[in-house]
Each structure stands twice: as structure tokens, then as C-alpha cells.
Copies of this chain bind each other. A is one copy, B any other.
Amino acid sequence: MSQTVQTAVVGATGYAGYELARLLLRHPRVARTVFYLREPNGAKCLTEIFPALRGWGEAPVRKFSADAVAAQGAKIAFLATPHEASLEIVPQLLETGMRAVDLSGAFRFPAGETLAQWYRLEPPDPALLRRAVYGLPELYGAKLADAQLVANPGCYPTSVILGLRPLLDSGLVARARGIVCDCKSGTSGAGKEPRRDTQFCEVNENFRAYKLFSHQHTPEVLEHLGLGAVDMMFSTHLLPLTRGILSTLYVWLDSPAAPEDIESVYRTYYAGRKMMRIWPAGRLPELQHVVDTNFCDIGFALDPSGQRLMIVSCLDNLGKGAAGQALQNFNLMNGFEEAEGLI
């Protein structure tokens, strides 16, 4: 009943790593977590890396090796490492019998070429890719109980896929007219490493689009929506705030629908899913509602003709878009209730 699990975290030094640490420290089913870095630089405990966690809890920091993690007795390892590091480390961890949740993009694509094309990385062993489960619990939750390797989705794709998949499955959408996904993210999504374009004065009182037609999250979106590149336009923008993604999604419908039809599509698809909050017609979700949570909120507006539809999908890019979702996957991998430790 109160079964707990030992976990390991590899590479938690960035914003998603911080969030992961914070969530693990308070998760009722996590027995103990050890944090591993390739270069601990003398750090022995978590609060040396994240001073703000003082008083919340403490955990050891150690130099990473797959053997060290295995020797610790961890059943599940979370990887908050760069793509390249995940490609190298994940096979080592799986070999020891451990299960892994990888927050990088390394194992998200069944086809190695996708990784090669969009990330310019050497793809991993195809057998490994085939074993990886795309960790979007509302779509693939049933596969998680037995998953050895879970590829935690990207933040933008989580928002867009959860916002569009029920509608596309419903058959209501006029796909031939094309779909537009206009996504806006807080700056924590850009990572913690100092960069000129994420300096405070470059983001504050500013707003900009970036990586148009070239964002590496594009193939995830297409794959899990069953769309071809030419059917969709997907854009990403940088908001002058820290946390949150809001995606405004535009579809034309084949024939007129009523607001209740649309609401019903979402309610049916997400019935029983605790992390999804569907807003009634006429109420739109907003970023403040989801920041610091693991919820994905969905609302919509249908025009009077019933043929033009705008969907608003929002979530916390470090929560449901990264660390929170990793823990939701962890819960389902272990047979726990999916929202445990997340509400």
C-alpha cells in the first residue's frame, strides 16, 4: 500500500532538474533519491547545487557511473541530461536492469533518421528506440506499466498533442485546410546556461518568434498527431515570463459543430485523467492557472458558424512539460495513482 521506490537522478543542474528534485523530495512514494553528476565539482549534497531547497529536504550528490547507480539500489533513474549524454548513459543504465525516464529528446522517435535530421545526432540502436515508450500518459498510459525506457515528451509537443489529438481522432477536423499551432513559452524553457538572447534585458518587455519551421519539437508533434509536415504550421515564441506554455491551435471543421460537441470530444477522450482540466465553452484557460502545477488546461472558442475553432492548451513547461510529467510517468510505471505527489 505505502510501497516506496528508490530513485536516481542523473544530471540535474538546470531548471527542469531543479523542479524534478523539488517534486521527488516531497513525493510520498519515493523512498530516497541520489543525484548523480558527471562533474560534481566537490558538491556532496543537493542544497549545494540548489540553495533554495535548504529546509525542504536533502539528498546526496555523487559522481555518476552506471555501476554506482545500480549499487545504490535505484529502481528508476531520471535523466535530466543533454541529448548526447542521454544517448550514452541510457543503454548503460538499462543494462544494469534499471528502468529509465529520459527527459531529453534522444529516444522520442521510433525512426533514427528523425533524430539525425532534427537534432543532428547519431541515432541509437534501433532496438532501443523500439523499446522506448513516448511518455504522454493520457495517450500511452497503458504501455507505461511495463516500460523499461520512457522518453519524456517535449514541452511544446505535450501542449499541442494534448490539445489536438482528441479533435483529430474525432474526425471533425477539415485536415486539408491545414492546422496552425501558435505556441508561446516562458523563458525557463531556454535552459539555464547563460546566453545573450536570454539575458534579462533581452527578454523583458520583449516578445519574439524563433526557430520558425525549424524547431526540433516539430517531428514529435507531427508523429503523435498523424500529420504530414505540409498539413501544419507550428511556431514558437518567447514570452517575458519564467514558466508556462500556452498554445493557440486553429482548425477548420468539415461541417458545423456546436460548442457542446467540442467540449464532449475532450471530456470523453480525457475521462478519468486527473491531470487534464477541460474548460467549458466560453471560458478560456490562462497561464497563471497552470504554473507550478502538473495540469494541462484546455479551452476553446467556436465561431457562430460552427466551422472555425480555436483551442487554447496550456501547461507549465517545467511541470507537465518536463519534470511533473516525468513523475506522472514514474507513478504509472509503478502502478501508483497517476497524480500522486503532483497535486
Contact = CB atoms under 8 A, between A and B. Distances in A.
A197 to B, nearest CB: 9
Given A51-B289, A200-B203, A288-B52, A310 B178 contact: no
Given A51-B289, A201-B15, A284 B246 contact: no
A31 interface: no
A200 to B, nearest CB: 4
Interface stretch (A83-91, A157-165, A206-214): A206-214
B248 A178 contact: no
A187 interface: yes
Contacts of A230: 305, 307-308
A240 B61 CA distance: 32
A178 B304 contact: no
User: Which of A178, A212, A307, A310 has the most chain B CB atoms closer than 10 A to its own CB?
Assistant: A212
A277 to B, nearest CB: 5
A36 interface: no
A192 interface: yes
Contact of A242 (B55, B198, B204, B307): B204
Nearest to A185: B207
B205 A241 contact: yes
A184 to B, nearest CB: 6
Interface string A168-209: 000000000110101010011000101110111111111111
A311 B197 CA distance: 21
Interface stretch (A68-76, A100-108, A231-239, A323-331): A231-239
Contacts of A194: 194-196, 199
A312 interface: yes
A206 B287 contact: yes
Contact of A237 (B204, B248, B274, B288): B248
A204 B293 CA distance: 17
A312 B206 CA distance: 14
Interface residues of A, number: 73
A311 to B, nearest CB: 10
A292 interface: yes
A293 B184 CA distance: 24
A198 B206 CA distance: 16
A250 interface: yes
A250 B209 CA distance: 13
A221 to B, nearest CB: 14
Contacts of A37: none
Contacts of A213: 301-304, 308, 310
Interface in A49-73: 51-52, 54-57
8 contacts: A192-B196, A204-B204, A205-B288, A207-B246, A212-B301, A233-B303, A233-B308, A235-B250
Given A187-B201, A200-B200, 17 more contacts: A55-B277, A55-B293, A188-B201, A192-B199, A198-B201, A200-B204, A201-B242, A204-B204, A207-B286, A208-B284, A208-B286, A209-B301, A213-B310, A233-B303, A233-B310, A235-B250, A240-B240
